[in-house]
Amino acid sequence: MSTPSPAEDATGAHEHVLHRISEELAATYSGGFAAETIERYVFESYAALARTAKIKTYLPILTRRFAQDRLSALAHAQGKQPSGTPEVLFVCVQNAGRSQMAAALLKDLAQGAINVRSAGSMPAEHLDANVVTAMEEIGISLEEQFPKPLTDDVVQAADVVITMGCGDTCPIYPGKRYEDWNISDPAALDLEGVRSVREVLRSRVQELAA
């Protein structure tokens, strides 16, 4: 029996939308990747996000963003579209707290001078509410962020990989800088505790950027 194609594995309700996303991204990356590669990335990204999503209404929108980010990382890693800026990846278990906060803090600090991503070894369904509140208190919105699975392409694209509590799940590639930050998990803390984590991360991020 032949292996089903990515299209055949997709849930039917969104299959036509995923094909359209694939076509749009194929135009964006024309000459960089084959259409089949882009379609595979789109359908794989959808399947990965669908594993944790209870409500699938917004999955196509998130899939487009996730697939495009992965393709951008792949293009950078393969030298097809180098970003020209340092690439930093933050990884924690659920990508719902620490890694999201650190990524948002570095993005705010760097103002485009550093390309920042985050991911989780076992991503949650949504961001921690206290994390969102704590970041809003300092003027940083996480409204458009969502937990993303850790994929090989974003690791390969990174110059610096910061892990927080995810053990040895992150693949190791030569020539990259790896750091493990011992930071408390916001999921087990109240809002005041999350504020403390935010300030610890702010200090660590400032040191990293410097």
Q: Cα 40 to chain center, whole Å?
A: 18
Catalytic residue among 10, 88, 134, 166: 166
What does the domain layout of the chain look like in residue ranges?
A: 1-82, 84-210
CA dist., res. 39 & res. 26, Å (int): 8
128-163 as b/e: b if 16+ CB within 10 A: bebbbebbeeeeeebeebbbbbbbebbbbbbebbbb
Supply the pTM of this predicted model: 0.89
Question: Is the pLDDT assigned to residue 37 strictly greater than 80?
Answer: yes
Question: Is the pLDDT assigned to residue 163 strictly greater than 80?
Answer: yes
Mean pLDDT of the chain: 90
Q: Which of the four CATH numbers 3.40.1130.10, 3.40.50.2300, 1.10.3720.10, 3.40.50.170 does domain 84-210 have?
A: 3.40.50.2300
Q: Where is pLDDT greater, at 112 or 101?
A: 101
Question: Is the pLDDT assigned to residue 207 strictly greater than 80?
Answer: yes
CA dist., res. 46 & res. 62, Å (int): 8
% of the chain surpassing 70 pLDDT: 94
Indicate if 92 belongs to the active site.
Answer: yes
Question: Is the pLDDT assigned to residue 1 strictly greater than 60?
Answer: no
Q: Which of the four CATH numbers 3.40.50.300, 1.10.1200.10, 1.10.8.1060, 1.25.50.10 does domain 1-82 have?
A: 1.10.8.1060
Q: How many Cα atoms within 13 Å fall on the side-chain side of residue 177?
A: 7
Catalytic residue among 18, 21, 92, 127: 92
Indicate if 170 belongs to the active site.
Answer: yes
What are the pLDDT digits (tens) for 45-73? 999 999 887 767 789 999 999 999 999 99
What are the pLDDT digits (tens) for 70-92? 999 999 999 887 778 899 999 99
Indicate if 166 belongs to the active site.
Answer: yes
Catalytic residue among 38, 114, 170, 197: 170
Question: Is the pLDDT assigned to residue 209 strictly greater than 60?
Answer: yes
